[in-house]
Chain A
Amino acid sequence: MEVLSVEDLRVKLEGREVLKGVNFSLKKGEKVFITGPNGAGKTTFLETLMGFVPFEGEILFKGKHLKSEDDFALLRGRVGYVFQNPDDQLFAPTVEEELAFAPLVKGIKREQVKEIVERTLREFEIKHLRNKPTYKLSGGEKRIVSVACVVTMDPEVILLDEPTTGLDRNKWEKLVEFFERTGSSLVVVTHDTKLMERLGWKRYVMEDGKLCSA
């Protein structure tokens, strides 16, 4: 079954056509890569899927057409998004609070949230960062926390924008293990050839606002 699909998606930013009729669909549990040159429209594509950019065309989540802000608010509870720049994403005072944010917003009970946070800290081996203010993290630490804080919302789909940039060997490995293990569908925008070779998922190429399968 298709969780997310897009038909003839067009986006204009400041009068310039950035997405020129994108078609795309993602099945439940499916994991794919999107690559392509800088400025091709990859980030814009993900932002549009999240409902942050005005668009023409169709976006469907589980067969439902998304139009209004309310539709997208619903989608955002189920689809996670890891920003290209983790600095833009992190806003809570500590790592722990950052991870607890999404489940708390969902209305999950405190005890359970605690469990989720513990598990995620363990999964990504970032327990020692628990009480650190997010602005004091190193580049790679910020990156892994920005992934972790989306994972705790237990999304059906996760969109990730260049998530391996700046990770050391160990964090890279942890992230790959998560990618393999998770039951969520994944859309990973990346230039990391090692990552693509290791996982061997289907690849799409975004070029000049058009998406083709490679």
Chain B
Amino acid sequence: MDTATEGEKVETPLNGEGLLSRLDPRVKIVLFLVLAWTVALAGNLLQVFVFLPLALLFYSTAYRKTTTILKLLLFADFFLLFVVLTQLFLGSPYEGILIFFKSTVIVLFSLLLLTTSSVFDLLHALHHLKVPNKLLQITFFFYRYLFTVREQLQLAEKSAKSRGFIPKTSIQTYKTYAYFMGNLLLKSYFKSENVYKALISRGFKGYFPVFRHFELRKLDILFSLFTIIYWGVAVWKFYL
């Protein structure tokens, strides 16, 4: 398959789906930080659960991808379960359960508010929110290469399979996977060198010029107002 489609793979799972995708990522990032910060500070379950209706409301707007969200959430919860179990054995079950629900709600907010924008848009928004450029570029390249690395691994696997390789527990199989890893390191290295060459040969000077700019619309303002009012009431009634 041609590699020309690579750029399109820099994607988040829910980008382009539903109402939340149409919001300005700057708005979503700020609201996410406020909500996540608040939930992280919660001292009891009630303070966590008061934000659940808001999360569910957001969730209901992503009507076409609700199963994707659930799958991602379950995936995160699977890891959180270990935290809960450790806490159970350490003797503070309530603490464990609290951490579990806090994290679940925060992950849910991040899925709904953050992964509904493309990574490029998110980084662009962070730039507007005065996050240092260097940090953003490192993040962008890291994310970009995660996909390249995965793709390289899949290609090596495909190549081995097309020559009759079937994974088993044998020396041959271990050797093959060792090849994959070595190959991955080298290819990633050379690939990054080539991307660097491609960048500077097109005049890259340390920042990404952006073609499409953001503008705050009525929808963004209404959404922010609604969320902030909900947040204000929740904090006033349950936190203070």
A binding-site residues for B, Cβ under 8 Å = 43-44, 47, 50, 52, 73, 76-77, 80-81, 83-85, 87-93, 97, 101-102, 104-106, 133, 135, 149-150, 153
Contacts and interface: CB of A to CB of B under 8 A. Distances in A.
Nearest to B8: A14
A124 to B, nearest CB: 17
B3 interface: yes
B73 to A, nearest CB: 25
- Interface band, chain B: 20 to 34
B2 interface: yes
B166 interface: yes
A102 B166 CA distance: 11
Given A104-B172, A135-B186, A73 B161 contact: yes
B180 A150 contact: no
Contact of A76 (B164, B176, B180, B187): B164
A106 B164 contact: yes
B74 to A, nearest CB: 25
Given A88-B159, A105-B164, A43 B1 contact: yes
B80 to A, nearest CB: 33
Given A52-B158, A101-B176, 15 more contacts: A43-B1, A52-B162, A81-B162, A85-B3, A87-B187, A88-B155, A91-B183, A93-B183, A97-B179, A101-B165, A102-B164, A105-B166, A105-B172, A133-B186, A135-B183
B232 interface: no
Nearest to B173: A105
A91 to B, nearest CB: 4
A110 to B, nearest CB: 12
Contact of A93 (B158, B182, B187): B182
B36 interface: no
Given A91-B180, A93-B182, A135-B186, A76 B2 contact: no
B156 interface: yes
